[in-house]
């Protein structure tokens, strides 16, 4: 993604700086090349100023035309343009040719070489800014042309440092380009510039620095009124909020981006596909969150059920402990041979006489089965009975039941 967005930045100043040249897309490259083929070095040396200007433009058109299809031919015509412009000290054309060669090296990821040519073009632009004039002319280059060159080269050099992971250096040059864009009110160019800066920080994983860049891009896009730049800025903010996990805001901005891209489907088909892809990612993230919430809810319900079960068991154990404490106290307070019955023994004796089993008695008076059996044993010992029948008989004789 970084490469694609940075190439956009290169195109910003190129369009403005090349305004005086004819559009190479209006020519057939083969026929144009046949025309310039007749210009031998000797003929070029004898060319008039007007002829030399046309030829430099033709070389530029060929360089631009071959840029995407034949890098070697593009560099060839860039060098011819540079050499001819150098004879007349046309600094603008020389800078353009060197920039064109830099773009070719950039396209094949030869960033060090590209940077060399961009810096050479920058040095020539410095000469333009210093007031140097073409041969046979006393008129210096106007400030608009100089700034045009500077802004494009600052952006291009910033690109190189970004691709070489020298991010602070890249930002230094981007901000220089931005100052020129601001000077002339080139809001569209600033929107692209700040979006690219946001993309770089985003890819570096520094969301804190990416956000203000995306926001500034949106501000410039709104000022420009360009719907394509608005959609790009919205997409940047949507991507930021998606990375932050703020799904609601991410959906809002991505939908805004898509609504603008939909106005330019013929021009921005790839960008709209990317936006729709982001929407799909957001929907997947939402589904994932819902799954996590469902799992979390189930876990909470399970924990709640476990807590309730533990509380119930604890309450039952507490009751049994209380009963056991009473038994212990009774055991300590009296000997097994003592005939006087405790309150609990008087409670259990009638139940035994009624024919209830130990388990039934335990359920009825909320005691554990071992505790009830212990009381039965005590009753047999105190009353001096060997079995239930004898226990009931003697208990009746003593008036206990």
Q: pLDDT tens digit string along 88-129?
A: 999 999 999 999 999 999 999 899 999 999 999 999 999 999
| From-to residues of CATH 1.10.10.10 in the chain | 334-401
What DSSP element (H or E) covers 259? helix 247-261
Name which of 239, 228, 257, 152 is nearest 198 in CA terms. 239
Other residues' Cβ atoms within 10 Å of the Cβ of residue 234 = 25
Fold of 334-401: Arc Repressor Mutant, subunit A (1.10.10)
Is residue 293 over pLDDT 80?
Answer: no
C-beta separation of 187 from 221 below 8 A = yes
Mean pLDDT of 142-161: 93
Query: Strand runs (DSSP E) across 267-362, as ranges?
Result: none
pTM higher than 0.85: no
C-beta separation of 41 from 66 below 8 A = no
Q: Please tell me the distance from the alpha carbon of residue 365 to that of residue 277, in angstroms, as a whole number.
A: 69
What is residue 297's predicted lDDT score, i.e. its pLDDT? 72
Name which of 243, 321, 313, 231 is nearest 282 in CA terms. 243
Name which of 83, 81, 93 is nearest 121 in CA terms. 93
Other residues' Cβ atoms within 10 Å of the Cβ of residue 270 = 10
C-beta separation of 78 from 97 below 8 A = yes
Percentage of residues of the chain with pLDDT beyond 90: 42
What is residue 288's predicted lDDT score, i.e. its pLDDT? 67
C-beta separation of 261 from 231 below 8 A = yes
Percentage of residues of the chain with pLDDT beyond 70: 79
Name which of 100, 102, 88, 172 is nearest 137 in CA terms. 88
CATH of domain 2-289: 1.25.40.10
Mean pLDDT of 151-173: 93
pLDDT in tens, 317-333: 666 666 665 665 555 45
Q: Around 286, how many Cα atoms within 13 Å sit in the side-chain half-sphere?
A: 11
* Banded model confidence at residue 170, pLDDT cuts 50, 70, 90: very high
| From-to residues of CATH 1.25.40.10 in the chain | 2-289
How much of the chain is in helix, strand and coil states, percent to nearest 5?
80, 0, 20
What is residue 282's predicted lDDT score, i.e. its pLDDT? 64
DSSP 264: G
C-beta separation of 376 from 370 below 8 A = no
C-beta separation of 162 from 170 below 8 A = yes
Mean pLDDT of 8-19: 39
What is residue 83's predicted lDDT score, i.e. its pLDDT? 94
Q: Please tell me the distance from the alpha carbon of residue 248 to that of residue 157, in angstroms, as a whole number.
A: 37
């Amino acid at each position: 993604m970084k490469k694609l967005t940075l190439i956009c930045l290169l195109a910003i100043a190129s369009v403005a700086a090349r305004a005086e040249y004819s559009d190479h897309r209006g020519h057939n490259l083969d026929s144009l090349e046949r025309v310039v083929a007749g210009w031998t070095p000797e003929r070029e040396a004898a060319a008039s100023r007007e002829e030399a200007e046309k030829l430099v433009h033709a070389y530029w058109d060929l360089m631009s035309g071959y840029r995407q299809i034949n890098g070697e031919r593009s560099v060839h015509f860039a060098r011819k343009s540079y050499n001819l412009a150098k004879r007349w000290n046309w600094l603008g054309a020389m800078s353009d040719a060197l920039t064109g060669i830099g773009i070719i090296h950039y396209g094949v990821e030869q960033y060090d070489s590209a940077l060399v040519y961009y810096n050479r073009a920058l040095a020539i632009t410095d000469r333009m800014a210093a007031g140097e004039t073409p041969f046979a002319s006393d008129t210096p280059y106007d400030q608009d042309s100089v700034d045009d060159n500077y802004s494009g080269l600052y952006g291009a050099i910033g690109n190189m440092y970004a691709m070489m992971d020298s991010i602070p250096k890249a930002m230094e040059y981007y901000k220089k380009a931005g100052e020129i864009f601001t000077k002339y009110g080139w809001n569209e160019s600033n929107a692209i510039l700040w979006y690219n800066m946001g993309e770089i920080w985003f890819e570096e994983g520094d969301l804190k620095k990416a956000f203000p860049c995306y926001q500034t891009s949106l501000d410039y896009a709104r000022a420009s009124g360009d719907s394509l730049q608005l959609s790009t800025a919205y997409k940047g903010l949507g991507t930021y909020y998606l990375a932050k996990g703020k799904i609601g805001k991410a959906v809002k901005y991505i939908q805004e981006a898509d609504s603008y891209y939909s106005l330019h489907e013929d021009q921005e088909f790839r960008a709209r596909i990317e936006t729709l892809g982001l929407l799909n990612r957001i929907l997947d993230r939402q589904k994932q969150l819902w799954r996590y919430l469902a799992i979390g809810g189930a876990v909470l319900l399970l924990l709640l059920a476990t807590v309730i079960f533990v509380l119930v068991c604890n309450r039952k154990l507490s009751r049994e402990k209380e009963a056991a404490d009473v038994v212990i106290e009774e055991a300590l307070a009296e000997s097994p041979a003592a005939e006087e019955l405790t309150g609990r023994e008087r409670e259990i004796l009638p139940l035994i006489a009624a024919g209830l089993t130990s388990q039934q008695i335990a359920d009825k008076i909320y005691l554990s089965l071992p505790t009830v059996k212990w009381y039965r044993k005590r009753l047999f010992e105190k009353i001096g009975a060997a079995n239930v029948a004898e226990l009931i008989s003697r208990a009746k004789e003593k008036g206990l039941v």
